[in-house]
């Protein structure tokens, strides 16, 4: 909610909002690709908003942690969410479709970008989607996918499984597709 107050997109009466709609910014990806985007869409990212406010933008905003392909995706999202007249319903549908076809690797790229750029809605959507894909997967699968190394001894691990025995009931371990 706080974001909305700081950033009154869509309120036509506000001259500042009008200016933001017409003003464009240029975002530069890690691999040197440049994208132009309206300020009103760009500032849905809290990180970019801060950069604009601190006036360290100077025309081009470098985003050294986001590659061009990912940035293009993120900009699609931002544009949709800054669009005038897009209903909540439409945005929800868009979000659903936006993440639905993405491979795990792409989801990881987008979640990193959303985290870095601080885009709350996108971050939530993508994290939820990754969690959906984790359902019914074994611990080993999760460790492998997220590059996690266990530092528990086998005894400790057994102990933990006992502690959460209810959570392990009916779980077939290591059955993944």
Binding residues for another protein (CB under 8 A) = 30-31, 64-65, 67-70, 87, 89, 104-106, 108-109, 111-112, 115, 127-128, 130-132, 134-135, 139, 142-143, 145-152, 157, 160-161, 163-164, 166-171
Q: What is the DSSP string of 76-96?
A: HHHHHHH-TT--HHHHHHHHH
> Nearer to another protein by C-beta: 16 or 163?
163
- Is residue 71 within 8 Å of residue 31, measured between CB atoms? no
Based on CB atoms, which residue is closest to another protein, 21 or 127? Answer: 127
Distance CA 117, CA 111 (A): 10
Cβ–Cβ < 8 Å for 43, 49: yes
At its nearest, how many Å lie between another protein and the CB of residue 21?
A: 24
CB of 114 to another protein, least distance (A): 10
Residue 55 or 162 with smaller CB distance to another protein: 162
Q: Is 162 helix (H, G, I), strand (E, B) or coil?
A: helix
Q: Rounded CA gap, 86 and 88, in Å? A: 7
Q: Which is nearer to another protein, 35 or 39 (CB)?
A: 35
């Amino acid at each position: 909610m706080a974001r909305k107050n700081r950033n009154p997109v869509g309120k036509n009466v506000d001259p500042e909002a009008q200016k933001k709609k017409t003003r464009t910014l240029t975002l530069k990806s890690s691999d040197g690709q440049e994208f132009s985007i309206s300020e009103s869409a760009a500032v849905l990212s809290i990180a970019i908003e801060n950069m604009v406010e601190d006036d360290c933008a100077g025309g081009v905003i470098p985003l050294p942690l986001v590659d061009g392909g990912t940035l293009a995706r993120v900009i699609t999202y931002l544009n949709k969410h800054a669009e005038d007249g897009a209903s909540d319903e439409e945005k929800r549908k868009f979000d659903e479709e936006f993440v639905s076809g993405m491979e795990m690797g792409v989801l990881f790229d987008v979640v990193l970008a959303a985290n870095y750029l601080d885009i709350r809605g996108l971050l939530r959507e993508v994290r939820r989607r990754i969690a959906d894909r984790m359902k019914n997967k074994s611990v080993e699968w999760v460790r492998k996918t997220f590059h996690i190394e266990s530092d528990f001894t086998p005894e400790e691990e057994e102990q933990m499984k006992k502690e959460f025995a209810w959570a392990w009931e009916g779980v077939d371990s290591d059955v993944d597709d």
